[in-house]
Amino acid sequence: MISLTLTDLAGVINGSLVLDGSATADTRVEGTVDTDSRNIGPGDIFVAKPGETTDGHRFVPTAASQGALVAIVEHVVEASISQIVVQNTVEALADLAREVVGRVRARGQLRVVGITGSNGKTTTKNMLAHILAADGDTVSPHASFNNEVGAPLTMLRVTDDTKYLVSEFGASGPGEIAKLAGLVAPDVGIVLMVGMAHAGGFGGIEETFRAKSELVRAVRSGGLAVLNADDGRVVAMSPIAQENDVAVRWFGHAAKADVHASDVEVTGEGTLCTVSVDGVSAQLRLRVLGAHHVMNALAALAAATALGVSGKDAIHRLEQVEIAERWRMQPLGSDRVRIINDAYNASPDSMSAALRTLAQITTPDQRRVAVLGAMSELGEYAEEEHDRIGLLAVRLGIERIVIIGDAARRMFLEAVAQGSWDGEAVYFADADAAYDYLTTELRDGDRVLVKSSNSAGLRFLGDRLGEFFS
């Protein structure tokens, strides 16, 4: 974070400064800001956020013992540390992020990119950050820091040397993206797609469209919206951009897009395609598995080249990205039994894409195995969408369909109803039972997809299988 005095810090977040004897009002703070006391070190700022299972105020003494200079709290805590008392620590975190980014931006070079979409945010963020990092100091989220806490924490990592801030904006309901993006008014806003992820929270696909379009509305006047030319709902955001004096740059498979791809070939080692950037074509060899990640790469290329990176350099840097992120199409195991751990998150769109990738990368002498768990936050659409995935797995000819957990049972029942009645589809109540089955059932040549929403916990099953077959 940039350097602020304790008095300045208190003023920014509208708090009351309570000094410990070791500090003064003019003491400067510029350390890391975090809500997790385990990440706190000397000179850092600890934010005591109340939570569902615990209260951050309990850990103020721990943060103090680890060298934190100040704690942002909602009430004074008995601890040897200066404290700033505010009404709401999460809102204070947002206020601080807005101020810090605003000050850095006013001093010069900082450019801000915001990314949203029902799927692909983290992968696109990682790809774009990798491209931009070679061009200047780049700040981007750890993992999927994209909510009301994670996004401001990322923003607060900027310094006066930062050239690019890449922010990822997730949401489970209307208004959340507007609030987060409003903290920084991005120079570039990327909308990847409008799908069924979190549809239960939004109340349907049209509400999801309205929520994702909040990013386009938040882009500063004179900025740029990078939009998916293949998604009709994203295309419908173009008039919103025009109304707000925001230019549009298109990406997709459509030849009319400013950045587009053709001749896509998916293999077990990655994805090959021809990309055209503003009329100049080149080969792209992505190490990341899956044709669906081509769209994420195109979005990253469209944004990076708009920010001044040459197409040639951007493509070269993209080719160095080995995996999208841990637990996202992550190859594990060995050539003998390959595990693809994609169980960090799941929606109907990403589940379908992962299953199709499994079918595409498997040769005739290899067996396709899908280990699937529930897709969360689908609300009233849950039964229908789980049925659809069970049907798709059968139609793709997946030889072993392993369903785990009661919330995913509809996939198993649909797979059986559609023809997988001779042992192809099996059901287990929990991951441990599935692990015992898979460690004896899997054989040389198998290609195994592990896919579920985060809440199902199958990412850890994927890790265990990867280690077993390494």
Q: 20: which residues sit within 8 A by CB, 6+ positions away?
A: 80, 81, 82, 83
Query: 3-class DSSP state for residue 241?
Result: helix
Other C-beta atoms lying within 10 Å of the C-beta of residue 69: 24
> Which of 307, 329, 318 lies closest to 130 in space, CA to CA?
318
> Which of 111, 131, 305 lies closest to 223 in space, CA to CA?
111
Residues, the chain, total? 470
Q: Is 119 annotated as a binding residue?
A: yes
Q: Which two tokens stand for residue 380?
A: 């009233």
Query: What pairs with residue 425 in β-bridges?
Result: 401
Q: Is 270 annotated as a binding residue?
A: no
Instruction: Give me the half-sphere count of Cα atoms (radius 13 Å) on the Cβ side of residue 326.
Output: 8
Distance between CA atoms of 92 and 74, rounded to whole angstroms? 10
Distance between CA atoms of 27 and 21, rounded to whole angstroms? 12
End-to-end CA distance of the chain: 41
Q: 61: which residues sit within 8 A by CB, 6+ positions away?
A: 77, 78, 79, 80, 81
Q: Is 54 annotated as a binding residue?
A: no
Distance between CA atoms of 105 and 160, rounded to whole angstroms? 8
DSSP letters of 128-167? HHHHHHTTS-EE--STT--STTHHHHHHTT--TT--EEEE
> Which of 258, 277, 257, 297 lies closest to 130 in space, CA to CA?
297
Tokens 């005095």 belong to 5
Q: Which two tokens stand for residue 249?
A: 């740059």
Q: Which two tokens stand for residue 96?
A: 């601080």
Buried b (16+ CB within 10 A) or exposed e, 131-140: bbbebebbbb
Q: Is 117 annotated as a binding residue?
A: yes
Number of H helices, E strands in the chain: 17, 22
Q: Is 268 annotated as a binding residue?
A: no
Binding-site residue set: 117-123
Binding-site residue set for ATP: 117-123
